[in-house]
Amino acid sequence: MPRIGIIGAGVAGLHLGLLLRQHDVPVTLYTDRSPHDLATSRLQATVAHHAPTLQREKDLGVHFWPDAEYGYTCHHHYVGGEQPLRFRGDFTRPSSAVDQRLYLPALAEAYENQGGDLRVGRVEAGDLTTLADRHELLVVAAGRSAFSPLFASRDAYSPFREPQRRLCAGLYHGIRPADPKGVTLSIAPGHGELIEIPLFSRDGHVSALLFESVPGSGQDVLNDLSYEEDPALFLRAVRDQLAARHPDVFERIVPGEFDLTGPLDLVQGALTPTVREDFARLPNGRYALAVGDAHTVVDPIVGQGANAASHSAWVTGEEIGADLALDELFCRRVAQRRADVVLGAAQWSNFMVQPPAAHLLELLVAMSGCQSAADAFTDNFGHPDRQWRIVATAERTHAFLERHGAALPPAAP
């Protein structure tokens, strides 16, 4: 039975670890932070899980947050401009968002209960030889591990040299939920986006606000303020940005209750989207496979990171169970099977952080008048491969709208 080593205990590492334990495969998970430390740490991300990911959680026996209470069913869209657009898209099956500081420790406990070995401690570059000899396959599932340099960046899928958005993500009290309960995707042309997510944290049902700000834009002011230095000033700035650019969220603020849920419930930063090689041959002839952030880092603008990571972990686990060896052919097979979803997520996310293509604007306008197109677009947050096939070119977007009977934009002369 192969002994699998996994570096990183995020969504990818834990989903893979749990799947392997279901098949009685011996597995060791290396993480630099204990579940307890993670539970009490600063917010790292605001993550929604879509239906395919929730299905995997059900299959793994770790769907601890029933959809009826924790799920949501739609996306509310707002696109600012002279004539603002508003429309809603419904999911076929619910999505949900749970604070990773609750989610990951609960999954780590389930993993250990199922016989998984969890080792807490920093993995250094110098440990590679030891770990490569100890395991028949190393799965690198952490974006910032000492082993990340094993996987070279792939230029064809990594068009940016620097972040395209600056991020300010926090958990807030005092925002009434949207009705029906759902995520609000609010676009402020020239400034960026706001993604408001109904999220469950240790404070209960709260609102996550993820500001995706174009560097140097008015909205980007949020990244130059420190909540800890001056909470009132920071909160006023958030309110001001909501009032100026995201009215559909602003109007749900409850006066006197609006506040961050805690000083650790805020993260400000930025990342450069990058797709890396799928695998690397180790000095001893064995292989290391990249999954999750070690393989693709996407801007969170359309919430694809965790879902793609879970998909990638699932494919990896299925192939470990099915294949006869953990060699280059195995790695190529995993790469081939996950490519559509994982690269689709990366390409769609990259498309969304670029200056908006004319056909993206056409799509938004058309969806505001065509419910079935809006629903399909929304459901595709769980199917980034399908979404990318819709937005990749103007011709594809037009064909998609035509299939849904949506009003097409006037043809170019």
- The binding site for its own copies (CB under 8 A) comprises 323-325, 327, 329, 333, 336, 339-340, 389-390, 392-393, 395-396, 399-400, 403
> Which residues lie below 8 Å from residue 306, measured CB to CB, with a gap of 6+?
10, 11, 45, 47, 48, 49, 53
Q: Which is nearer to its own copies, 152 or 324 (CB)?
A: 324
> Which residues lie below 8 Å from residue 130, measured CB to CB, with a gap of 6+?
none
Cβ of residue 396: shortest distance to its own copies, in angstroms? 4
Q: Which is nearer to its own copies, 41 or 393 (CB)?
A: 393
Q: Which is nearer to its own copies, 181 or 333 (CB)?
A: 333
Q: Which is nearer to its own copies, 39 or 392 (CB)?
A: 392
Cβ of residue 320: shortest distance to its own copies, in angstroms? 13
Cβ of residue 264: shortest distance to its own copies, in angstroms? 43
Q: Which is nearer to its own copies, 254 or 358 (CB)?
A: 358
CB atoms within 10 A of CB 178: 20
CB 350 within 8 A of CB 159: yes
Backbone angles phi, psi at 168, to 5 degrees: -140, 105
Backbone angles phi, psi at 220, to 5 degrees: -65, -15
Cβ of residue 5: shortest distance to its own copies, in angstroms? 19
Tokens 């994982």 sit on residue: 342
* Total residue count of the chain as it appears in this document: 413
Cβ of residue 41: shortest distance to its own copies, in angstroms? 39
Cβ of residue 341: shortest distance to its own copies, in angstroms? 12
Alpha helices in 149-207 (DSSP H): none
Q: Which is nearer to its own copies, 33 or 396 (CB)?
A: 396
B/e letters for 81-106, b = 16+ CB within 10 Å, e = fewer, are eeeebebbbebeebbbbbbbbbbbbb
Q: Which is nearer to its own copies, 106 or 394 (CB)?
A: 394
User: ∠ CA(294), CA(187), CA(162), 5° rounding?
Assistant: 35
Q: Which is nearer to its own copies, 243 or 322 (CB)?
A: 322
Q: Which is nearer to its own copies, 339 or 361 (CB)?
A: 339
Cβ of residue 324: shortest distance to its own copies, in angstroms? 4
Q: Which is nearer to its own copies, 68 or 412 (CB)?
A: 412
* C-alpha–C-alpha distance, residues 305 and 299, integer Å: 8
Closest listed residue to residue 185, CA positions, set 252, 88, 45 = 88
* C-alpha–C-alpha distance, residues 8 and 17, integer Å: 10
CB 258 within 8 A of CB 231: no
Is the Cα torsion angle 194, 198, 199, 205 positive or negative in sign?
positive
Token pair in block for residue 63:
């769907």
Cβ of residue 327: shortest distance to its own copies, in angstroms? 7
Cβ of residue 248: shortest distance to its own copies, in angstroms? 30
User: ∠ CA(352), CA(189), CA(265), 5° rounding?
Assistant: 70
Cβ of residue 323: shortest distance to its own copies, in angstroms? 7
